[in-house]
C-alpha cells in the first residue's frame, strides 16, 4: 500500500475516475444547465462543443483541476509500477530492452501529462496556438506511451480516431471533429484504467515469500548436458560433491 493508505492499483483507478468525472460534469453542465447553447468560443457553423470550448470559459477551473489530478495519479502509477517490479512485487523486467521500453513508457507518459496540463491552462479561446501545441504533445506523448506498453488494440483504435479528429478539424467539419474529441477522451480513460490490471497482482505479493525472484540473464549457466540451470537447480549444481564412500568397508 502507498504510504499505508491506498493500494497501488487505486492510483490509476483514481486517475481514470477523476478524468471521466470531469468529462461528465462538463458535458452535463453544457447540455443541462446551459441547454447546449452556442458558446462564444465556438465556430458559427458548430453546434457540438469541443471539450476545450467548455474548458475555456466557466468550467476552466474544473478542467484544470481535473486534468491535474488525472496526470498526477497516472504518473504515480508509472512510478509505482517501476518500484514494484524492482522490489519483486510484480514480475520484474529481465531483459535490458524491457527496462528501456518501460523507461520510455514513463517518459512519454510524463510528456503527455505536460501536454494535458498545457492545453487545459492555455485555453483555446485566449491562447489558441499554445493550446494546439499542448494538444499535439498530449496526443503524441500518450500514443507513444501506449506503444511502449504494448497495448496494440487500444493504440490502433486511438491513433485512428486521433487522425480522424485532425483531418476533420482541417476540413472545417467541426461537429464531427467534436464527436471524435469526446470519443478520444473517453478512450483515454480506458487506457488509464488498463493500468489497474497491471498493478493489481501486487495485492498478492505483500509478504516477502510470495514475491517474484529477480533473475538476470547473465546468471543463467549451462549444465553438463547443455541445458540451462535456473534458480534452485543452479544452486544445487554449485554445491560441492563429496566422494562416494559407500563401497569402503571397515576392516
Q: Answer whether residue 70 shows pLDDT above 70.
A: yes
Q: Estimate to the nearest angstrom the gap between the alpha carbon of 207 and the chain centroid.
A: 26
pLDDT score at 47: 84
What is the average pLDDT across 5-17? 89
Q: Give percent above pLDDT 70 in the chain.
A: 67
pLDDT score at 162: 62
Q: Please spell the DSSP secondary structure of 45-74, one letter per residue.
A: T--S--HHHHTTTTTHHHHHHHHHHHHHHH
- The alpha carbons of the chain give a radius of gyration, in whole angstroms, of 26
- The pTM assigned to this predicted structure is 0.71
Q: Answer whether residue 217 shows pLDDT above 80.
A: no
Where does the pLDDT of residue 96 fall: very low under 50, low under 70, confident under 90, or very high at 90 and above? confident
Per mean pLDDT, which range of 82-86, 105-109, 219-223 is the poorest?
A: 219-223
pLDDT score at 4: 60
pLDDT score at 157: 52
3-state SS assignment for residue 98? helix
What is the average pLDDT across 12-19? 95
Where does the pLDDT of residue 155 fall: very low under 50, low under 70, confident under 90, or very high at 90 and above? very low
What is the average pLDDT across 61-79? 91
CB contact burial 51-82 (16+ within 10 A = b; e otherwise): bbbbbbbebbebbbebbbbbbbbbbbbbebbb
Burial class (CB in 10 A: 0-12, 13-18, 19+), 240: exposed
Grid coordinates representing 246 are: 559407500
What is the average pLDDT across 108-124? 87
What is the average pLDDT across 82-111? 77
pLDDT score at 194: 85
pLDDT score at 13: 95
Write down the domain spans for the chain.
10-204
Where does the pLDDT of residue 181 fall: very low under 50, low under 70, confident under 90, or very high at 90 and above? confident
pLDDT score at 18: 96
Q: Answer whether residue 231 shows pLDDT above 60.
A: no
More confident position, 228 or 50: 50
Contact 12, 206 (CB under 8 A): no
More confident position, 140 or 173: 140
Amino acid at each position: 500500500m502507498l504510504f499505508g493508505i491506498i493500494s497501488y492499483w487505486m492510483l490509476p483507478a483514481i486517475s481514470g475516475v477523476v478524468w471521466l468525472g470531469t468529462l461528465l460534469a462538463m458535458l452535463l453542465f453544457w447540455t443541462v444547465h446551459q441547454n447546449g447553447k452556442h458558446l462564444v468560443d465556438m465556430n458559427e457553423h458548430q453546434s457540438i462543443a469541443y471539450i476545450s470550448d467548455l474548458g475555456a470559459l466557466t468550467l476552466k477551473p474544473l478542467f484544470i483541476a481535473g486534468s491535474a489530478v488525472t496526470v498526477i495519479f497516472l504518473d504515480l502509477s508509472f512510478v509505482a509500477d517501476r518500484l514494484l517490479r524492482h522490489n519483486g512485487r510484480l514480475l520484474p523486467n529481465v531483459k535490458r530492452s524491457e527496462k528501456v521500453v518501460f523507461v520510455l513508457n514513463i517518459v512519454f507518459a510524463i510528456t503527455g501529462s505536460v501536454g494535458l496540463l498545457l492545453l487545459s491552462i492555455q485555453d483555446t479561446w485566449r491562447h489558441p496556438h499554445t493550446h494546439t501545441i499542448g494538444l499535439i504533445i498530449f496526443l503524441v506523448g500518450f500514443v507513444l506511451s501506449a506503444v511502449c506498453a504494448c497495448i496494440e488494440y487500444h493504440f490502433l483504435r486511438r491513433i485512428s480516431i486521433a487522425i480522424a479528429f485532425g483531418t476533420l478539424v482541417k476540413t472545417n467539419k467541426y461537429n464531427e471533429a467534436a464527436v471524435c474529441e469526446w470519443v478520444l477522451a473517453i478512450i483515454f480513460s480506458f487506457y488509464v484504467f488498463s493500468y489497474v490490471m497491471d498493478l493489481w497482482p501486487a495485492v498478492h505479493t505483500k509478504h516477502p515469500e510470495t514475491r517474484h525472484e529477480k533473475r538476470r540473464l547473465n546468471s543463467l549457466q549451462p549444465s553438463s548436458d547443455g541445458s540451462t540451470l535456473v534458480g534452485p537447480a543452479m544452486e544445487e549444481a554449485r554445491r560441492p560433491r563429496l566422494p562416494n564412500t559407500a563401497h569402503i568397508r571397515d576392516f
